[in-house]
Homo-oligomer: A and B are copies of this chain.
Amino acid sequence: MDEKDISQAVIGRLPRYFRYLGELKYEGVERISSQELSEVMKVTASQIRQDFNNFGGFGQQGYGYNVEYLYQEIGKILGLDKKHNLIIIGAGNLGQALANYMNFERRGFIMKGLFDSNPELHGKQVRDIIVQPMDHIMEFVKENEIDIAVLTIPKTSAVEVAEHLVQNGIRAIWNFAHVDLNVPEGIQVENVHLSDSLMKLSYNINRYDTEHKK
């Protein structure tokens, strides 16, 4: 499977393809052409074919793409057929929201632990997980083969915690703290900077105002 370096632009589009194909599948659609898919998704057919061909050909000339097959293949590319153990660090509002709402299991992510520095939360149960104190983290990571840490703690502690996690063998960090983490090669970080996102929205409202209202 010779995967050259796929650009982040392409990777960023894969989950959206996966979502639409899941819906088509659910609706009972069997086959779809790049042209039809392009109309639904509002991208060019050319881009769709180029994107898929980064991973080898999933289609058939004269026929198009089999929805079920394409859905499965993109799922595999995204690694959703693999199991990954995960912990959430920071059991405040956001941490608990993710624990309750993300449906991790459906995508192969198994929530194994929840940690918080606030003693009042220790022992509290969220889903089937008991919140533990922070100083249990590192042993837990090693003993339970934890791959992914979700960081929902303030930025002040995030950098330090991330460093320790890396030292203890974590492989990926889903980072909700408003800070850029510095990790070695081979450790994957995906940032969700909510305030950045809100500022983008603010920019677009503001720009629209200055362009139209005045």
Show the binding face of A for B, using Cβ within 8 Å.
1, 3, 6, 11-12, 14-16, 18-19, 77-80, 82, 84, 92-94, 96-98, 100-103, 107-109, 147-148, 171-172, 174, 178, 180, 186, 188, 190, 192-212
Contact = CB atoms under 8 A, between A and B. Distances in A.
Given A172-B201, A198-B107, A203-B11, A93 B100 contact: yes
A197 B18 CA distance: 13
A178 B19 contact: yes
Number of copies: 2
Nearest to A214: B1
Nearest to A185: B208
A200 B11 contact: yes
Nearest to A18: B199
A98 B107 CA distance: 24
Q: Helix, strand, loop or mixed for chain A's interface?
A: helix
Contacts of A102: 194-195, 198
A91 to B, nearest CB: 11
Task: Indicate the member of A1, A16, A205 with the most B CB atoms within 10 Å.
Answer: A205
Given A94-B97, A190-B204, A195-B107, A210 B19 contact: no
A82 B108 CA distance: 43
A77 B174 contact: no
A149 to B, nearest CB: 11
A93 B97 CA distance: 4
B205 A79 contact: yes
A199 B100 contact: no
A121 to B, nearest CB: 14
